[in-house]
Chains A and B, each alone.
Chain A
């Protein structure tokens, strides 16, 4: 497939936003049960949620560039019964709204206590909103992944690994950002987020490698024979019926050499997983905010390459009909 930068930015940016929100909310819920020290509402929870929101909005803006007719985008919410894309279109604003409420609540100190149990456990309204937000965030990961995994003849994508990778890679980048952010605004949480960022990055590395391994040995179901219905082992296209190209030649091919594809693969493995792991480790050892920030920036750039490769690697069966001018 042709990798469209609008979709690459959409999926990577909302991934960071979702991951960061999950990280911030995990921080708050751990502090409620006193596993972590409580942090300042404004400086950490509030600001964190707002940064997450900025990433989500960034993704939304990127998605507009993908649509031919963005002014009709509201219509895309109507077919949620059958279309994962429609489900994503519904869940994304819900996530944004919940993250927004959560952020505002902390930032302006609007949080209310709902109940206090006898054991001294205080249930804040923000915890309920945050829990709903986290649920919505997971649902959004599922929708984003399923948009790709649901197209069964794009065999590189049609696997549960696609959904798992969207979940892990998004969460991973959010936790890396949370580590860097905590090193500035809540140093007590830095190690907690950092260790989780490392764990999720390793998990993501494993599942992404699994999908690379799976895709390298894929057996394509369609062939020239089934595409034409002609039973002959040697079939060659002599003409695709036009000379100047069409949507079919532009949208479905990556037009890059194998060497280029391979280099992108190694670049993304290095930049999304290996370098950030290293930088996270050094940053945590030295408590160095700049190194942690670098870990996030390198990882995000790596994710852009990763997403580019994700699209470029997928081989659409329609390409069988467009082999030669």
Chain B
């Protein structure tokens, strides 16, 4: 079985919001219709987004670390948002595991948004239907696009390549290898939703340099300086072993 998903590398995300804007751009002009906005250039702008980038800080000054944290629907393997939907508008695709909303069936009851612990669903307050990340389902299978571009818009736009896209059920895919080898984890594992999207933790690259690595013991320049060893006063191995 295929399960398409994103893997987001928190170690390289710089919080530039390129994925947010390119997601909005692609999905507001897509075949499923626009994503509503109110006061986009005025006071209190608000609107429907599939993807948000948030910023957190861990620790206390001066020992702090900034975490830029993109969040969109995680396409859970056991999505709690699907069974609660009274109309069947929310569904998980058999063939690739993408969780979608059928905008023609949704009655806008918001029950699914209550049932998503991640706050990944946002109702479109003008079209009155529930919206969420589609993993660019209208892009990734589009054969008119060059093969290299058949990826979600956010993945295409990320300047640091913090977003990987692929099949997390295929053990040899780049995403599976990244999850396996770079310590990929799921959000809020306590609810058993089994999110398909994974996050790669921030990693520190530390160099451990010892004194003797700075001074080469076998430096030929130092050969001449080496005199005879001073006579040893301490106990030596010779003294301690006796026949």
Interface, chain A (partner B; CB < 8 A): 1, 66-70, 72-73, 75-79, 82-86, 89, 147, 150-154, 221-222, 224, 226-230, 232, 234-248, 251-252, 316-319, 321-322
Contacts and interface: CB of A to CB of B under 8 A. Distances in A.
Given A68-B108, A318-B117, A226 B125 contact: no
B178 interface: no
B201 A229 contact: yes
A243 B49 CA distance: 13
A76 B109 contact: yes
A292 to B, nearest CB: 37
A56 to B, nearest CB: 19
Contacts of B107: 67-70, 72-73, 75-76
Interface string B183-200: 001111111000000010
B184 to A, nearest CB: 10
Nearest to A222: B188
Contacts of A245: 44, 46
Contact of B115 (A151, A229, A240, A246): A151
Interface of B: 17, 20, 39, 43-49, 52-60, 65-67, 69, 71, 80, 82-89, 105-111, 113-119, 122-123, 125, 127-129, 185-191, 199, 201-202
Contacts of B187: 226-229
Given A82-B83, A235-B56, A72 B105 contact: yes
A236 B64 CA distance: 10
Contact of A234 (B58, B111, B117, B188): B58
A245 to B, nearest CB: 5
Given A154-B114, A318-B119, A230 B188 contact: no
B7 to A, nearest CB: 13
Between A68, A86, A237, the greatest number of chain B beta carbons within 10 A of the residue's beta carbon is seen for: A68
A76 B106 CA distance: 9
B109 A316 contact: no
Contacts of B55: 237-239, 241
A2 to B, nearest CB: 10
Between A89, A230, A251, the greatest number of chain B beta carbons within 10 A of the residue's beta carbon is seen for: A230
A151 B114 contact: yes
9 contacts: A66-B110, A69-B128, A73-B107, A75-B89, A78-B87, A89-B86, A151-B84, A239-B54, A243-B45
> Closest 6 CB pairs between A and B?
A68-B108, A68-B128, A318-B119, A86-B86, A82-B83, A76-B86
B53 A241 contact: yes
Contacts of B128: 68-69
A68 B113 CA distance: 13
A1 B201 CA distance: 31
Contacts of A73: 107
B54 A83 contact: no
A235 B58 contact: yes
B110 A82 contact: no
Contacts of A147: 111
B96 to A, nearest CB: 21
Between A79, A85, A247, the greatest number of chain B beta carbons within 10 A of the residue's beta carbon is seen for: A247
A164 to B, nearest CB: 21
A317 B188 contact: yes
Contacts of B67: 228, 230, 235
Contacts of B56: 224, 228, 230, 235-238
Nearest to B103: A69
B22 to A, nearest CB: 15
Contacts of A75: 86-89, 105, 107
Given A68-B123, A75-B86, A84-B84, 18 more contacts: A68-B107, A77-B86, A82-B82, A82-B84, A83-B111, A85-B84, A85-B109, A226-B188, A229-B185, A229-B187, A230-B56, A230-B58, A237-B55, A238-B57, A239-B54, A241-B55, A317-B188, A318-B117
Contacts of A221: 190-191
